[in-house]
Structure 1
Amino acid sequence: MSAQQLFAAHSDGNVSTLALTTAGDTSTLSISSVTPLCETNPATLNLDFSQRILYCLDRGRAVDRQGSLNSFSIDATGKLERIARVSAPISGVAAEFFDIGRTGVRGYVTASYNRSAIGVYRLGENGALTEPLETIFPNITSTGPVTLRQDRSYLHHVILDPTREFILIPDLGGDMIRVFKYDEKNVAPLKELAPLVTNPGTGPRHAVFWKSPESGVLYLFFNGELDQKIYSYRIEYKNGGLSWSQPSAIASISDDLAPTTAPTSEIAITPDGRFVIVSNRDVSFATSAQNRSGPSDTLSVFSIRANGTLSPVQHAPSGGYSPRQFMINKAGDKIAVGHQNNNTVVIWERDIESGKIISEAEGGKLGVATLSGAVVFVQWDE
């Protein structure tokens, strides 16, 4: 018998520790412990595996003035114990931590959605936290074409480039990916550089970098939540910043689905760098032509060509409604999907060679756990 551990944040205020247990050909997913100490609305998790510390960003509620950042220790059974809690900008939905060169300083940057904001932290040792060093409130100068979603700035992700010198934050409301440099000694202040400006109505949500093994050329893939396309931009380092050119865009599901009716949510590259996977809310959205037409939303799988373009491989069930986020394990043979509308975590098996998610009929659904609230983030403990 073997077991793999995961953590799941759900927006009812809880974070669950899950165990995927395998015995022979049988797998089960169960809840081993739950903590309510990430406060009112857990939104995203960041795991420091080597130090056994889990960071949980609490989004807060509409009636709150702020959210919170929480750190937890992880015991041998996966139980979480809170170490520290500090304030965070309200409506935080994404965050990333990173080491700054060889200084021993660790930074942590958050992105808030409804009240567009960036929180900048310097993390202490052993999970210690301090209040934000800086809070930035970006905005836009004109409303985008999707007026209900682009009347102001809406930030939704935080990633670093491969050199770990630049912080990129997709702005769904502003049709851009904002770029920042951080202070190399103290994290803050951030300096904003020229952004990647997308087509109007794109609504960039999440992004990932990929380097072609054949040419060494660097690309940025991101999903347009609003226009439901996957974009591939060629990236170059010039004049102390980043420059871009767009080689391709492809519909996550189909060009026949009208914009904003089947929004994309998560995007990830498989550990072997050969495939891109994107989650779609094509069946759970009320405005979708496919609303409740089936028991599950979907995951789109694409192979990556040497020139950064994408080729469709598979359109597979996610296993539930509104797959807000998913995570591939490091081995690349499993994918954990968190569903916001029916409160489940579903574990699927992947065929690493073909890139396909193995169907339930073929035994690919390894486990399902129903949690106490809407699942917004799943993290493998590795």
Structure 2
Amino acid sequence: MNGTGALRAFIGCFTSNGGRGIVQAAVDPGTGALTAAGTIETVPDPSYLAVGHREGGPVLYCVSETVEGAVAGFDVSGPAPRLLGEPVPTGAAEPTHLTVCQDHLVTADYGSGSVTVLPLAADGAPLEPSSVLHHEGSGPHPERQSAPHAHQVIQDPSGGWVLSVDLGTDSVRVCSLDTRTGQLTLHSVMSLLPGTGPRHLVFHPRGHHAYVLGELRPTVVVCRWNPETGELRSIGECPLFPDGAGVPVQPSAPVVSRDGRHLWAAVRGTDTIAVLSVDEPGEGVRVVTSVPCGGRWPRDLALHPSGAHLYAANERSGDVTWFDIDATGVPRRTGSLAVPAASSVTFA
């Protein structure tokens, strides 16, 4: 929230495909509806966004998903976002995801198959990279897995570990981050079935289970997570299409409800949101139904901070649609906002 206490949404876009940059939107406190309120056109292809918090208020970060690769930070504590210094090169190609870890920004670099760490200044501005950790390996898919492709980086709920999901090597890497030096050190690796092509993972709210979404093999891999030892272990999986999808699909983004009872997965190709139930321990996952995403090619899903609304960034139809969420977990579409080449949604 900004200084006025009003919640805002920020929507990343691909400027190379007609997007306007980062779109700022007001969020209706009752319905969750979005109303466009301006754009930030400073950075090319700001495809993924993350929010950090400093003493002065929230800071919005974005990747620049270009061959050169860069990140930028914006002070969004006031009504008008303010760029914190010039965009900083990551020293790696095509960053697709980023997260804030203590006083550092960490990016997943799809093109170069690496993870970059950038320290943050006192005002939240990103500084020059302190380390770039390169992944190694490949997978069986001849086009998508000929080399490493780090697609997501995320801090675990305990705050003690950094996990990177690599689509190219069918693996999730667990690293420790030395906050004094900004160096990442590989701690453990969880391998998935060859050809899974993992894209993103999400943690259960209680912090001891995680769900990995396969992009090349449309499945949710259920994992146990031990924050004490930093070990992630696969214990089962749930195919999103037990009888086949009928069309080529590429699942993109998983989201878990705040109470841990529901999991949603965006599916490009069918242009749907798969709805899954999660049992009380967090280990039993099953597909319940699916609903249309309200557009084409849903690249990202985001949950409203209240948990009452779900948002889909539909890249190819150029819109963000939103849904009401009730106790059943089945999303009910209630509105949309035109956002060309929309790719991600976050809130501050």
For normalisation by structure 2, the TM-score amounts to 0.89
Aligned residues: percent identity? 24
Rounded to whole Å, the distance in 1 between the matches of 2:26 and 2:239 is: 35
Residue 81 of structure 2 corresponds to residue 80 of structure 1: yes
**Equivalent pair of 2:205/2:258 in contact (CA under 8 Å):** no
Residues 231, 32 of structure 1: alpha-carbon distance in 2 compared, 3 angstrom cutoff: same
**Equivalent pair of 2:205/2:259 in contact (CA under 8 Å):** no
Aligned to 1:58: 64
**Equivalent pair of 2:115/2:164 in contact (CA under 8 Å):** no
Which amino acid letter does the alignment assign opposite residue 63 of structure 2?
L
The Cα offsets for residues 342-369 of structure 1, whole Å up to 9 and x where unpaired, read as: 1111111111x111112xxxxx41x311
Query: How far did 1:272 drift?
Result: 1.6
Residues 27, 72 of structure 1: alpha-carbon distance in 2 compared, 3 angstrom cutoff: closer
Which amino acid letter does the alignment assign opposite residue 256 of structure 1?
G
Aligned to 2:203: 209
Residue 17 of structure 2 corresponds to residue 17 of structure 1: no
Aligned to 1:91: 94
Residues 131, 22 of structure 1: alpha-carbon distance in 2 compared, 3 angstrom cutoff: closer
**Runs of 4+ more than 4 Å apart:** none
The Cα offsets for residues 79-135 of structure 1, whole Å up to 9 and x where unpaired, read as: 322112211222000111122xxxxxx121100112212111111112222110112
Rounded to whole Å, the distance in 2 between the matches of 1:96 and 1:232 is: 22
Aligned to 1:241: 230
Query: How far did 1:21 drift?
Result: 3.7
Aligned to 1:317: 292
Residues 123, 166 of structure 1: alpha-carbon distance in 2 compared, 3 angstrom cutoff: same
Residue 45 of structure 2 corresponds to residue 48 of structure 1: no
**Equivalent pair of 1:57/1:69 in contact (CA under 8 Å):** yes
Aligned to 1:113: 110
Aligned to 2:275: 301
**Equivalent pair of 1:253/1:300 in contact (CA under 8 Å):** no
Aligned to 2:35: 30
Rounded to whole Å, the distance in 1 between the matches of 2:220 and 2:124 is: 36
Residues 378, 136 of structure 1: alpha-carbon distance in 2 compared, 3 angstrom cutoff: same
Count residues with an aligned counterpart.
Answer: 335
Query: How far did 1:5 drift?
Result: 2.1
1:1-382 equivalence runs, <5 A = 4-12=7-15, 14-21=21-28, 29-37=34-42, 39-48=43-52, 51-60=57-66, 62=67, 66-74=68-76, 76-77=78-79, 79-84=80-85, 85-88=87-90, 89-99=92-102, 106-140=103-137, 143-186=138-181, 188-210=182-204, 218-236=208-226, 240-246=229-235, 248-257=236-245, 261-283=248-270, 297-307=271-281, 308-351=283-326, 353-358=327-332, 364-365=333-334, 367-371=335-339, 373-381=340-348
Query: How far did 1:7 drift?
Result: 0.6
**Equivalent pair of 2:160/2:227 in contact (CA under 8 Å):** no
Rounded to whole Å, the distance in 1 between the matches of 2:32 and 2:156 is: 37
Rounded to whole Å, the distance in 1 between the matches of 2:29 and 2:233 is: 45
- The runs of 5 or more residues in structure 1 that have no matched partner are 100-105, 284-296, 359-363
Query: How far did 1:28 drift?
Result: 5.2
Rounded to whole Å, the distance in 2 between the matches of 1:115 and 1:219 is: 29
Query: How far did 1:235 drift?
Result: 2.6
Which amino acid letter does the alignment assign opposite residue 311 of structure 2?
A
Query: How far did 1:211 drift?
Result: 6.0
Query: How far did 1:15 drift?
Result: 0.6
Residue 47 of structure 2 aligns to a residue whose secondary structure is strand
**Equivalent pair of 2:51/2:100 in contact (CA under 8 Å):** no
Residues 27, 301 of structure 1: alpha-carbon distance in 2 compared, 3 angstrom cutoff: closer
Larger Rg: 1
Query: How far did 1:326 drift?
Result: 1.2
Query: How far did 1:237 drift?
Result: 5.3
